[in-house]
Amino acid sequence: MMRLSDTEDAGEVIAIDWGTSSLRAALLAPDGAIVDRLASPDGIMFANGRRFEDIFRALFGDWIARHPRAAVLASGMIGSRQGWVEAPYVACPAGFQDLARGLIFVEVEGLANVGFVPGLRIEHDDGVPDVMRGEETQVFGALASLGVSEGVFVLPGTHSKWVRVAGGRIAGFRTFMTGEMFDVLRRHSILGRLMPEGGPKGGEPGETFDLGCDMSASGKLLHHLFSVRSRGLLGKTPPEQLADYMSGLIIGEEVREARDFFALSPSPVYLVGRGDLAGLYRRALAHYDLTSAALDDGVTFAGLFALARTHRAQMKV
């Protein structure tokens, strides 16, 4: 089996978060400190006929030439069936050790062995399967950064993830199509007709967002979604505030469902992701009397660093 070279024990780590629409990466020192960063629009859906290996050589050849002992790990959709190589899902519950054992390596001739992080899979009690790819690395990075082994982590986005961690292992998770639902309704339904271009700006949402969260408490989402249009038509909500109102309805519904699913404890919910979405989610969580703490999405690099170290330790046993 290909693996990280034994000569890499004290070397750097090249941590790559390679997603659908873009990629970002960090060169990490042997102690985990970020030495250099890069970002590129070369997500897996924008390769435009180029081989992923060629993109990798162009982007990371210089780093590897300067740091030939560096371990190279990539997480995200690059390890999916549509990516460079498929790293099969690991079953939950899963911890650092399980994820590290699931790494799949590909040799880029004359350059490096690249390790691809597997996603996670679970089957809920009702028989519905669920998967994640990329978020597991963020969660493990958050655990390493915070020095905790328990908690609930929320990763807002197109497909929002709620993840429960117990004993340092991901014990369960659930996906909500919140971001995609908002985007579809905003751009491709009659609800968006009265809204000006753009949408919620994030940060501190307005009172109409709070109203949407209040309405979500009843669980009548399909009925209340039409009120986005009726409130606009009847002048009860200004056009520029309708997107905030709809966002409150949808995010509030997510929090309502997830709160019941996870039976959350009084400890804070950890929000992992970009600041604008974190602002919206913090407001929605507060509506349901849930405290939260925000973490930068740079924890992905911390997760890849920890996985590189865990894999090396496994190879020495």
CATH of the domain at 180: 3.30.420.310
Query: Pairing mode, if any, of strands 169-176 and 160-166?
Result: antiparallel
Do 15 and 129 reside in the same domain of the chain? yes
Contacts of 156 (CB under 8 A, 6+ apart): 178, 179, 271, 273, 277, 278, 280, 281
In a domain, 190, yes or no: yes
Give 111-124 pLDDT, tens digit per residue. 999 999 999 999 99
Q: How many domains does the chain have?
A: 2
Do 282 and 311 reside in the same domain of the chain? no
- CATH number of the domain to which 33 belongs: 3.30.420.300
Do 99 and 26 reside in the same domain of the chain? yes
Q: Please state the rounded mean pLDDT for residues 26-33.
A: 95
Q: Where are the alpha helices (DSSP H) in 102-206?
A: 135-146, 178-188
In a domain, 254, yes or no: yes
Q: Please state the rounded mean pLDDT for residues 22-46.
A: 95
Do 184 and 102 reside in the same domain of the chain? no
Do 309 and 263 reside in the same domain of the chain? no
What pLDDT is recorded for position 274?
A: 77
Residue 166 has phi, psi (to 5 degrees) of -140, 130
Do 45 and 99 reside in the same domain of the chain? yes
Q: Could you tell me which residue, 277 or 130, shows the higher pLDDT?
A: 130
Do 263 and 311 reside in the same domain of the chain? no
Do 210 and 267 reside in the same domain of the chain? yes
Do 307 and 262 reside in the same domain of the chain? no
Do 49 and 83 reside in the same domain of the chain? yes
Q: Round to the nearest angstrom and report the end-to-end CA distance of the chain.
A: 15
- With a cut of 50, say whether residue 142 has pLDDT above it: yes
Residue 86 has phi, psi (to 5 degrees) of -85, 125
Percent of residues, the chain, with pLDDT higher than 70:
93
The one-letter amino acid at 315: M
- With a cut of 70, say whether residue 317 has pLDDT above it: no
- Is the pTM higher than 0.85? The answer reads yes
Do 264 and 307 reside in the same domain of the chain? no
Mean of the per-residue pLDDT values for the chain? 91
Q: Please state the rounded mean pLDDT for residues 282-288.
A: 93
Give 46-62 pLDDT, tens digit per residue. 988 899 999 999 999 99
* Domain hosting residue 88, numbered range: 6-136+303-316
| Among 46-50, 176-180, 181-185, 223-227, the least confident range | 46-50
In a domain, 143, yes or no: no
